[in-house]
Amino acid sequence: MERTVAFMYALSRSGMPLAEVLRILARNQPVYGAAAEEMAVAVTDIDNYGADIITALERVGSRTPSDDLAEFTENLGSILQSGSDLPAFLKQEYEYYAEEAEATQSQFLELLATLAEAYVTVLVAGPLFLITILVVIGLTLGGTLGFLRLTAFVLVPGATFGFAVYLDSITDATVGGPGDEQSVGGEQSRFQSIPSPSAALCPDGGADAAVAPLGSSPENRARFAISERLRPVLYRLRNPLTVVLETPTLLFWVSCPIAAVYLGSQWWAPLSTGVFAPAAYDDALVHATVFVVGTFAVAYETARRRRKAIEAEVPDFLDRFASTNEAGMAAVESFGRTVDGDLGALTQELERTWADIQWGARIEHALTRFRDRVNTPAVSRVVALTTNAMAASGNLGPVLRIAANEATASRRLERDRRNELLTYVVVIYVSFFVFIAIIVALDTIFIPNIPTGAATQAGSGASSAVDSGAFSQSAGQLTAAKKAAYSTVFFHTSLVQAVCSGLVAGQMGAGSVKAGAKHATVMLVVAYTTFLLLG
C-alpha cells in the first residue's frame, strides 16, 4: 500500500485531478499490483457507468478483501466530501503506511527467526535423530532399510516442500510486492513500443505531416509485418546471453537436454549389461544435477545482482534529477545534467536514453524504452511516475523528491531485511554441516565396526555361549551387502538433504526458491565430495 499511496501522492502534488490519478494507477497494474487492480474497478464505475468518484470509492471499499484498502478508500472519500487538502491527506497516509511497513517487517523477521529454529529442529535434527534410531534398530532387529529409504526420499522432501510453500505464502503476504522478485514487463515488452516507420519524426520527436509516410506500398507493408513477427526470434538468436539473463528459466531448455544426453551415455553400459545397483547410476545423476542447477544458479544470480545494482542507484538518480529540476531547469535539461554524473550500474543505460533524446525522441518515449531495456520493478515505478507527472506539470521537483524518499525507504527496509536474514542462512549451513558430519560418522565409524555375519560366528565359536548372547545372533545377520546398503542410504540421504536445505536457505535469505539454486549446488557438491573422499 505504501508504494501505491506514494504514487497517488506524487501525482496529486503535480496538480493532477484524483480521477486522472486513479486512471493512471489502473493502467499500471503490473507495477502496483492488487491495489491498482482494485482501483481499476473504481475507474470502470466512473468511466463506464457514470458513478461519481466518491460512490466508486465506497464500492471498492465495500468489496475489497483488504482491510487497509477499505480503510484508505473510506478516509479518501471523507476527504473528498469535506473538500480538505488532498495532497496533505495522501502525504499523511503515505507516512502511516511506511511506518506500518517497518512494523510489519519487524514482525515478519521475528516469525522467520522462529521458523528457522523450527526448520533446524524438525527437518534437520529430526530426520537425523530418526535415522540414528532406525540404524540402531536395524542392527539389532533388522528390517529398517525400507524405512530409511522412506525417510530419505519421501519424508524429508515432502516436509521441506510443505515448509517452503508456507514460507513463500507468508513472504508474499508480508514483504512481497508486485515485481519484487521478477521484472514487471517481460522480455517481449521491448518490442511493444517500437514506433511504426510510417511516422516520420521531427528533431523534437514529433511527427512531420509534410513528409510522405514510408512503406505505403503493399509489398513494403508485407515485408514490415514479416520483420515485426521475426524481430523477437532474431533478437533471441543474436543475443542469447541477454535473453538468458532476462529469463534464466529458459536455460533449462538447453541444460536439461545436455544432461539427458550425458546420463544416457553414462547409463548405457550398466543398463546393457543388466546392472541395476544404485551405485552404478549415482555419480552420473549427481553430475547432471549439479550441471543443471549450477548453470541456472549462475544465470539467476547474475541477473539478480544486476537488478540489485541498478535499483541501488535509483534513489541517487531521483535525488539528483529532483535537485536539478528544482533549480529551475527544464525536464530534458535536468535529465541531461543528471546523466553527466556517475550513477554506477545505471550510467550506461541512462547515457543510451540521453542519446535517444538527442536523436529526436521525446523524453517520455526515451524513458519508456529505458524502462523496457532495464526491466526492473524500481525503474518501472520511476518511469510510470515521471512520465505521467510530466504530462500534468513541468514542475517535476516535488514529484521526484517524493519518489526518491520512497525509493530510499524501500532500499533501507530491504537492506535491514537482508542483514537479518543472513543469520538464518548461516544457521541452515551450520545445521547441514552437522548433519553431514553425523551421517559420515555413522557410515565410516559406526557401521564398519559392527562385525559381519562371518566374523561374529567365528568369534562366538571361540567363546562361551553365554558371551555370545542374543546380540551375537542378531548382529550375525549384518552382512557385507547390508553394510553397503546402509552406506548407499546414507549417501542418498545426504544428497537429498543438501538440495532441500539449499532451497530453504534461498527462500529464507532472498524470498525465492530460485535463489536457493546456488545454495543447493554448493551443498550438493560438499555432500558428494565428502562421500567421494571418504568412500
What is residue 395's predicted lDDT score, i.e. its pLDDT? 67
User: What are the structural domain ranges in the chain?
Assistant: 2-84, 105-177+417-534, 192-239
What is residue 462's predicted lDDT score, i.e. its pLDDT? 45
What is residue 213's predicted lDDT score, i.e. its pLDDT? 47
CA distance 26 to 39: 6
Residue 40, H or E segment = helix 29-49
What is residue 530's predicted lDDT score, i.e. its pLDDT? 92
Residue found under cell 529505458: 370
What is residue 471's predicted lDDT score, i.e. its pLDDT? 42
Q: Are 468 and 460 in contact (CB under 8 A)?
A: yes
C-alpha dihedral over 45, 50, 53, 58, to 10 degrees? Answer: -50
What is the per-residue pLDDT across 180-213, written as a single tens digit (0 to 9) for each? Answer: 454 444 444 444 444 444 444 443 444 444 444 4
Residue found under cell 486522472: 20
What is residue 210's predicted lDDT score, i.e. its pLDDT? 42
Residues 6+ apart with CB under 8 A from 470: none
Cell of 343: 550513477
**Backbone phi, psi, residue 392, to 5°:** -95, -35
Q: Are 36 and 60 in contact (CB under 8 A)?
A: no
Q: Are 29 and 36 in contact (CB under 8 A)?
A: yes
Q: Are 427 and 518 in contact (CB under 8 A)?
A: no
What is residue 258's predicted lDDT score, i.e. its pLDDT? 93
**Backbone phi, psi, residue 330, to 5°:** -70, 165
Cα 172 off chain centre by: 11
C-alpha dihedral over 483, 484, 489, 491, to 10 degrees? Answer: 120
CA distance 120 to 432: 9
CB atoms within 10 A of CB 328: 9
CA distance 252 to 244: 10
CA distance 486 to 477: 14
What is residue 244's predicted lDDT score, i.e. its pLDDT? 78
For the chain of 535 residues, list the mean pLDDT of each consecutive stretch of 10: 81 81 84 83 84 85 83 84 83 84 83 86 87 85 84 90 87 55 47 43 42 59 79 76 81 91 89 79 91 92 87 84 80 83 83 87 85 82 81 72 82 83 87 90 83 54 44 53 85 92 88 89 93 82
CA distance 525 to 300: 19
Cell of 483: 553394510
CA distance 489 to 148: 7
